[in-house]
């Protein structure tokens, strides 16, 4: 299942939902991450103040993965890579 996230408030809800889907409490997640329950609570309550590394570790520990999707991304292949789409360049300066 995919959970689009655009704000830290949405991320807070998704992190809690992932943990609850796995039927884990914060202390159990803390053991998976090597932190205490209070740290897990702080991450869930204020993910916008948490480092990306810690968010990624938490998501991975809960069986998820972090994906950045662009609007023009082609369909994913079976190996997880994206098929390339051909696009017309509007100007030679679009080569960043």
Domain limits for position 42: 8-61
Does the residue 56 lie in any domain? yes
Q: What is the pLDDT of residue 76?
A: 61
Q: How far apart are CA 42 and CA 58, in angstroms?
A: 12
Does the residue 51 lie in any domain? yes
Does the residue 20 lie in any domain? yes
**What confidence tens digit (pLDDT) does each residue in 5-50 have?**
999 999 999 999 999 999 999 999 999 999 999 999 999 999 999 9
Does the residue 87 lie in any domain? no
Q: How far apart are CA 32 and CA 78, in angstroms?
A: 29
Query: For the whole prediction, is pTM greater than 0.75?
Result: no
Does the residue 94 lie in any domain? no
Total domains, the chain: 1
Does the residue 72 lie in any domain? no
Does the residue 43 lie in any domain? yes
Does the residue 52 lie in any domain? yes
């Amino acid at each position: 299942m995919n959970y689009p996230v655009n704000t830290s408030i949405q991320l807070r809800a998704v992190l809690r939902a992932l943990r609850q889907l796995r039927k884990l409490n914060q202390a159990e997640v803390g053991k998976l991450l090597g932190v205490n329950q209070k740290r897990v609570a702080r991450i869930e309550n204020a993910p916008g103040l948490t480092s990306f590394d810690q968010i990624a570790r938490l998501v991975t520990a809960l069986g998820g993965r972090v994906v950045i999707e662009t609007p023009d991304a082609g369909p994913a292949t079976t190996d997880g890579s994206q098929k390339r789409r051909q696009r017309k360049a509007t100007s030679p300066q679009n080569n960043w």
